[in-house]
Amino acid sequence: MSVLPEKILVATDGSEPAARATRTAAELAGKLGAELHVIYVGEPPVVFHPELRGYTALYERTEQDGRKLLEEEAERIRASGVTVAGSHVRMGRPDVEILAAAEEIGAGMVVVGSRGLGGVKRALMGSKSDSVVHHAHCPVLVVRAEVE
């Protein structure tokens, strides 16, 4: 059994930290000969009742926008010469869905971006990347945004 991952899952949301994470994951996958999977998790609109007017359309638009963003990201990866083994769109809490997808595909590594929030902001807002790190079944690489 190799300690190097055979499958890498990278999460994207269209942000610069996620783009940096995707570039890093693509480079790693290319050098290691690992399968690369890309996931986008849309956060469903928060409502009190799913039958509220417009909820279904808003949910579907969020999912559709995610599919478009994911396809654009997968195309950039392919343009760099790396094959995308799978593209996954999910709706829900990003940390939960990323971890579920990683287990389902048998990922040996998860790559996520981070805005690099300070301790107080992270404590108040929470951190999806922190949650992924603490609950993942495999190694997690957190690619931080450049500090200006």
The model carries a pTM of: 0.86
Q: How many residues comprise the chain? A: 148
Confidence check: pLDDT of 145 > 80: no
Tokens of 126: 């929470």
Domain membership of residue 2 (yes or no) is no
Cβ burial 53-90 (10 Å sphere, 16+ → b, else e): eeeeeebeeebeebeebbeebbebbeeeebebeebbbb
Please check whether residue 125 lies inside any domain of the structure: yes
pLDDT tens string 10-25: 999 988 999 999 999 9
Distance, in Å, from the CA atom of 90 to the CA atom of 43, rounded to the nearest integer, reads: 9
Q: What is the pLDDT of residue 59?
A: 84
Structural domain contains residue 55 = yes
Q: Is 9 left (phi over 0), alpha (psi -120 to 50) or beta?
A: beta
User: What span, in angstroms and rounded, lies between the C-alpha atoms of 90 and 74?
Assistant: 16
- Answer yes or no: are the C-beta atoms of 105 and 10 closer than 8 Å: no
Domain limits at 92?
7-144
CATH code, 34: 3.40.50.620
Quote the pLDDT of residue 115: 74
Q: Is residue 1 situated within a structural domain?
A: no
Identify the pLDDT of residue 126: 46
Number of compact structural domains in the chain:
1
